[in-house]
């Protein structure tokens, strides 16, 4: 499992989106510096995404920072990236360590 060492690292992982190579609903689990785990799953629900980017990958930290900070506060976030065949909608959650 990939370990993420800080806010910037988590922003980069969220901004990386997903690819067709990921099969099933689970896309990734990432160990966090604070002992928690960030989990990304394909989202198929009815909620409007919290943030939508037409790009497949987002390199702008500032564009994602407030959403990732909400994620770290315990909120789930839904991020939509890409369009058409490259559309990727992920729900991100943090699982706190016991």
Residues of the chain with pLDDT under 70: 19-24, 98
Which residues face 3 on adjacent strands?
31
pTM for the full model?
A: 0.89
- Give pLDDT tens digits for 21-35: 556 677 889 999 999
**What integer pLDDT is reported at residue 23 of this predicted model?**
60
- Give pLDDT tens digits for 33-42: 999 999 999 9
DSSP string, 33-62: TTS-EEEEEE--SSSPPSEEESSSS---HH
d(CA 80, CA 26): 16
Query: In Å, how far are 6, 19, 78, 97 from 52, measured between CA atoms?
Result: 23, 17, 9, 29
């Amino acid at each position: 499992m990939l370990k993420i060492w800080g806010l910037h690292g988590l922003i980069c992982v969220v901004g990386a989106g997903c690819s067709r190579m990921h099969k099933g609903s689970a896309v990734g689990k990432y160990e966090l510096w604070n002992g928690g785990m960030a989990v990304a799953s394909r989202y198929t629900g009815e909620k409007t995404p919290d943030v939508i980017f037409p790009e497949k990958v987002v390199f702008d930290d500032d564009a994602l920072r407030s959403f990732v900070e909400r994620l770290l506060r315990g909120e789930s976030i839904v991020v939509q990236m890409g369009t058409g065949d490259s559309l990727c909608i992920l729900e991100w959650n943090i699982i706190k360590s016991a």
